[in-house]
Amino acid sequence: MTRHNRETQRRKNYIVLAENFYLDNNRDKAIKFFKKALEFDGIKEEDISILFNIAAIHDELGNVDESLIIYKKIT
């Protein structure tokens, strides 16, 4: 397995973990694992999707300022 394939797989694993924590109503850990997923190389569209998820969760938690910062990164 090449380095790129390993990085891609690790990123996907962190996304799955984040989604599972979100579904289990553990928003803080979901954010943590979405951020961890961003540490690995991926395509721009996936980065935007991950950032959007992080911003939306911050919105749900009432962290409006943090969510706005992330929404600005997206744009």
The pLDDT assigned to 29 comes to 98
Q: Kindly write down the DSSP assignment for every residue of 12-47, as one continuous string.
A: HHHHHHHHHHHHTT-HHHHHHHHHHHHTS---HHHH
Domain containing residue 47: CATH number: 1.25.40.10
As given in the structure block, the two tokens for residue 70 are 């992330």
Going by pLDDT thresholds of 50, 70 and 90, the confidence category of residue 52 is very high
Summarize pLDDT for 7-51 with one digit per residue, the tens.
899 999 999 999 999 999 999 999 999 999 999 988 999 999 999
Does residue 2 surpass a pLDDT of 90? no
Answer positive or negative: Cα dihedral of 58, 61, 66, 72. positive
The pLDDT assigned to 55 comes to 98
Residue type, 47: D
The pLDDT assigned to 7 comes to 87
Tell me the C-alpha distance between 70 and 9, whole Å: 24
Residue type, 64: V
Our count of domains for the chain comes to 1
pTM score = 0.92
The residue range of the domain holding 40 is 3-74
Does residue 59 surpass a pLDDT of 80? yes
